[in-house]
Amino acid sequence: MTTSAAVGATPVMDRLISRTVRKHQPLSVHFDLTYRCNERCVHCYLDHDDHGELSTAECLAVINELAQAGTLFLTFSGGEIFLRPDLYEILAEARRLHFDISLKTNALLVTPERAERLREFGVRRVQISVYSDIPEVHDAITKVPGSLQRTLAAIPLLLEQGLQVKLACPLMRENLLAYRGVMDLAEKIGVPYVLDLTITPMMDGNEGPLAHRIPVSSLLPVMQDPKLHACMPQPTAEAALAMQEYPAAIGSAVSSGIDSEAYEDLPCSAGHNSCYISPYGDVYPCVQLPQAAGNLRRKRFNDIWYHAPQLERLRGVRESQLPVCSRCEIRSYCERCPGLALMEGGDLLGAYERACELAEQKARLAGVTEPISALHKEQVAKLMQATIENDSASVIANSGSH
């Protein structure tokens, strides 16, 4: 045994994903503590009510079960997490159980004292929603006057505590033209950012938020923007430095892992090594895949995670076996999401319009001549068949009439 043998080589994250996918270990969990919120964002997929949130004791029990199950990455989100009066109790327990803790917040309620508490509880990352650098645009989306100013004021408070801050900007009709401003703002503050094109129906299936979604044709300028490569996760300066200092050893920047090739033929991480827990204790494969696998008030996490039929079915899905998409010639340009396939196309295994349109647009931008998805190819074939049948019927009818 030597020191160099005792420590692993990079890339650590890929190995971590491979191992946890193979074992179905819930490496990463997104836990919404509340759906209540102090903003009313026009595109939000949640209602803002309390239908019986888990109590403090129940939340602590859940995260103890997650620790036993082997979860490392724990993201607390909402709603607005600072509306939970017991947030610090929950964070303290998460810290005690050695989770890697991330938060998602609108940061309206962040004060110097609260930022300091977050550091004390070992929070590593805070993701903050920013819709525009223009107050009128941002505030019109959140429906809270002055919200951009308050959100931006919180960022230095968090950075001063050494927390990593990331800006998240969901793009919709209301802020499409403002995305460059958010990118510039992030660069000016010196934090990473992500632009997100995903606007989903509400958890109950209400399609209201989709009215805010940008048509694929209007996304061309965004998709062509060379600056967008900067949206890829980048290691922090400290992490990059640490990796230089220990080139052959154990350091590796923590990434989201979402793009890892370790997922191979799996559609995504949902149900394989990640899941979502609602404020009411419902366990879902993902926040975007509304098929509850069980409730933590009635069953233990491990019973749900390892035995729920919904999760077992999901684990059997392979991209290469999808009935339509596996035949698609532009599959490599597609970012198909099983949850959106279910919500928008009604079939977890199926193709859906938005993904096909986006894939075609990307393929076109990459130089593919007249790209067409398998779904659209099928639709064209059916249309032609119907036309031929109609024409034949007309000919027969016409010949009969003479």
| Contacting positions for another protein (CB under 8 A) | 1-3, 5-8, 12-13, 15-16, 19-20, 23, 25, 27, 70-72, 98-101, 122-125, 162, 164, 235-236, 238-239, 241-243, 246, 249-254
Q: What is the DSSP string of 343-379?
A: HHHS-TTS--HHHHHHHHHHHHHTT-SS---HHHHHH
The rounded distance, in Å, linking the Cα atoms of 356 and 88 is 44
8 A C-beta contact, residue 45 and residue 339: no
The DSSP bridge pattern shows strands 294-295 and 282-284 to be antiparallel
Least Cβ distance, residue 7 to another protein (angstroms): 6
Distance CA 32, CA 46 (A): 11
Closer of 122 and 135 to another protein (Cβ): 122
Q: Please, what sign has the CA dihedral across residues 164, 213, 136, 230?
A: positive
How far apart are CB 135 and another protein at their closest, in Å?
31
What is the four-CA torsion angle of 256, 230, 171, 160, rounded to 10 degrees?
Answer: 70
The least distance separating another protein from the CB of residue 238, rounded to whole angstroms, comes to 4
Q: Which is nearer to another protein, 181 or 251 (CB)?
A: 251
Residues sharing a CB contact under 8 Å with residue 359, sequence separation 6 or more, in sequence order: 328, 330, 331, 333, 334, 335, 336, 371, 373
CB of 189 to another protein, least distance (A): 17
Compare residues 95 and 299 and give the one whose CB is closer to another protein: 95
- What minimum distance in Å lies between the beta carbon of 308 and another protein? 22
- We find the least distance from the C-beta atom of residue 6 to another protein, in angstroms, to be 4
Least Cβ distance, residue 165 to another protein (angstroms): 12
| Closer to another protein by Cβ: residue 189 or 249 | 249
Q: Locate 221 and state its tokens.
A: 């300028």
Block residue for tokens 């008030």: 297
Instruction: Report the C-alpha gap between 272 and 28 in whole angstroms.
Output: 10
Contact 253, 236 (CB under 8 A): yes
In the bound state with another protein, the residue whose beta carbon lies nearer, of 125 and 354, is 125
Q: Cβ closer to another protein: 155 or 171?
A: 155
* Nearest to another protein of 121, 179 (CB atom): 121
